Structure 1
Amino acid sequence: MSDAKRISWGKPRKPTDADRDALRDDLLAKARAVRADGWSPHREQWSEGQVAIVAYLLGDTDVLTELGESEGTVLSRAAADLFGFHGGRKDIEAGLSGTQAWFDTVRKALGTAT
């Protein structure tokens, strides 16, 4: 038997409403910046994941295609950010309905209908 101690990763973090509100505000600011300035000033500053989420919010399929992303990949990643690891897995298994509903509210705030 090994003397090595078992690694404890701790309890998975579950995002709060305040966390989701902060994410919403950040994404709205980024989407509005792209609308105002175009993609060029922002793409190099943001991670590909952030670019993909903003492109998804804006309905920019060209950018999503360039990144090799789709609605499913963006929403699957975002589910964990919104609901935590376990909650995200449950939402994925349920067809991402909670994640889609959250993005619908962000789009409504942005003034984008899709």
Structure 2
Amino acid sequence: MSDAKRISWGKPRKPTDADRDALRDDLVAKARAVRADGWSPHRTVWTAGQVSAVAYLLGDADVLAEFEESEGTVLSRYAAELFGFHGGRKDIEAGLTATQSWFDTVRKTLGS
């Protein structure tokens, strides 16, 4: 057995309401930019995860397919972003209901 010490990554970070609000505001701004400008000026600047989240918010199945994403992959990715590692895992086990509800709220903020 090795004498190496076990790595401790510390306590997992749990996002706050302020973190979730900032994420909401960022995604809403990005979705509004796509509505105003189309995808071209943004898709190469934003990460694939951001593009997929905005496409999910806007109901853009073509962009989701292009990035090989689905509702499930987007929600699974954002569960931990919204609720931390442990909270995200619990939400995945519960069927992503809290994450889906959060995205529904963001969609309402975005408006039609």
| TM-score bracket, shorter-length normalisation | over 0.9
CA distance in 1, matches of 2:60, 2:92: 23
Q: What is the correspondence of 1:28-67 to structure 2 with a 5 Å cutoff?
A: 28-67=28-67
Say whether residues 1:22 and 2:17 are aligned partners.
Answer: no
- TM-score when normalising by structure 2: 0.98
Unaligned runs of 5+ in 1: none
Unaligned runs of 5+ in 2: none
CA distance in 1, matches of 2:110, 2:22: 15
Query: Aligned-residue CA RMSD in angstroms?
Result: 0.7
Q: Which amino acid in structure 1 is aligned with residue 28 of structure 2?
A: L
Which runs of structure 1 show a deviation greater than 4 angstroms over 4 or more consecutive aligned residues? none
Q: Name 2:77's counterpart in structure 1.
A: 77
1:5, distance to aligned residue in structure 2 (A):
1.2
- TM-score when normalising by structure 1: 0.96
1:9, distance to aligned residue in structure 2 (A):
0.5
Identity of aligned residues (%): 84
CA distance in 1, matches of 2:2, 2:46: 44
